[in-house]
Structure 1
Amino acid sequence: MRQTAIRLAKSYTPMIKFVGARHPVIHHTGGAGAHACALDGVAPGSSQCLPAAEYLKKLQPFEVVSYKVKSTPKRGISGTDKRGYTYTDRALQENEVASVLSLPKRFRVRPLEDPEIDVINAGGAL
């Protein structure tokens, strides 16, 4: 009976074997830096950064713009079509809408319900 107890008392060894050395832990000091895609290294909260409210004031409403195609002969070996587009103002035709909010209900984005919002805020774990 003692031999069984000694066998069961063995330390646990994981079956997964990791290859290579441990990765170093990098401790960042200071505040947030500029995003890799930011122009001219603009950091969040800097004087060059535009607040969201100011940015949203400058947005233009969605507008349908029609265009008329001037066809020209194809040029080059690649066969790409070189066309110049001239924009013209015209009335909306059948099955065209001026805004996403004018779409039929079945094509609109469904609003989030309270249980869905709770799951999102919990990080997907409920």
Structure 2
Amino acid sequence: MLPTQVRLAHAYKPLIKFVGNKAALVDILKSHNYEQTKPHPCTINGIAPGSKDCLSVDDILSKQLPFKVVPYVNKNPVTSSSDNKYNFTPRGLKEGELNSIFELPKKYQYKPIDDLEIEAINNGGAI
């Protein structure tokens, strides 16, 4: 009988199999002149990566303003004697609006869970 560590010890073998070899891929890339860096088709004025017109990440981050949290100021203060910070006024329901999910049509409501299903869930799916 073999110990588990010996049985599970094996050389790494990738699960993905590629057709062809690396040399063939390099030849294809060279035939399409992919050695030269070309600008992306969506760039403005054909700016290529690494050119003098291209901005570095450090330049962009140095010009970026820091994030600042601004406290909310209520422009309409509550004049009532309640301790609420905001004044909410109730409004009536418009056409097509509901108070609760229980007012939905039966086909959109959740189906009740029967005792057998509850028991299966509590047992970890085993019946």
TM-score by length of 2: 0.33
Compare relative contact order (CA 8 Å, sep 6+) and give the higher one, 1 or 2. 1
* Structure richer in helix, relative to its length: 2
* Structure richer in strand, relative to its length: 1
Q: Which has the larger radius of gyration?
A: 2
